[in-house]
Structure 1
């Protein structure tokens, strides 16, 4: 979906129209308004068949909202890429960025928990798939909570969702490999007590702020890419007019 949610920003057309006296902000805004039609339609077109083939428990609207955020991010990145690279390289660069973020920067391998406090955490924070993964996973978790609350908490800790890994982190301990739900290592008494304490209060509903943060991050990144792309395109237009 990310590949065809990345329209090619018309940098060459923008240069031409700007040279003819057209307002650069007006033209850029008009391009964004036109793109919105595809941004709204693309998630429904791509995720509709997927939803009815896989039958997740979440509502289609929740999956669509995540897809909408992905398309918004990708189209914003297209504007930024077109402002930075020469026109003949834009398509290849856009495909490359979408594939890298989708295939590798998703927060599952390496996990968000493993990336805490490292440069990788910042890199993951710029990826659409990291935020889409968290939003969709937490939305689906809600429908399994009555029967699998402890399992969901353990998965959240292992992946790094909902901040559970930070609640169960032991200073000077063995990291995410040990402890309940972490797999493999010996469980210390302190880890076990902390796990039981978090287990009493853990609910997927308590993760709503993390789901909201994921949607806000996708919206903010898409908007930020657009603004940065506009500033860079404006600078390039001014240089060409000199």
Structure 2
């Protein structure tokens, strides 16, 4: 699993490059990259699909279409289903109910099998919905209807899967509660771990960029560290 990518959609380029490396190494592996509907408007995603199709790279593009790119509805970005874009690059695509866990599993398995057999990339559009705000600074009540939220709440993927397992007699009485308790405990542990982390050192941005020493990067790091040190050496102004 690669590290998180801050630039929207850029992880698709990394995944495609990794998949091209899989071909060169002759490895039995597939790269899978996840992104939202908003990312499909980025050039990086389109460039990644060009290279993936050209080299028949074993990569799966999994688009989580949750209908909203912050406050931008998907209808303003795509007047046709997003999955229909992929064939234009020569990539087979499928549109699936993103709130159906088993349907998502089935199409992903099929895409992985195709990639491993030399069939190249696949584009999956999983249609779902973003139930909460985009960030803590976002107020979705300003741009979307509460009725829309209620409609999608009725399609909760976890509740649907639980109902299916229960109907098949495969769900123990206290299983859901135990899973929720475990999830809450893990979330609390992760939050505590993040809050207790030491402040990062600014010059760490120069680490792990290249696998071997790089003169130009070393020069930039030296310049940046001298720049930071200059603030500590600057004389402090007295009261006016």
TM-score bracket for this pair, using the shorter chain length: under 0.3
Larger radius of gyration: 2
Q: TM-score, normalised by structure 2?
A: 0.22
**Structure having greater relative contact order (Cα 8 Å, sep ≥ 6):** 1
Higher helix share: 1
Higher strand share: 2
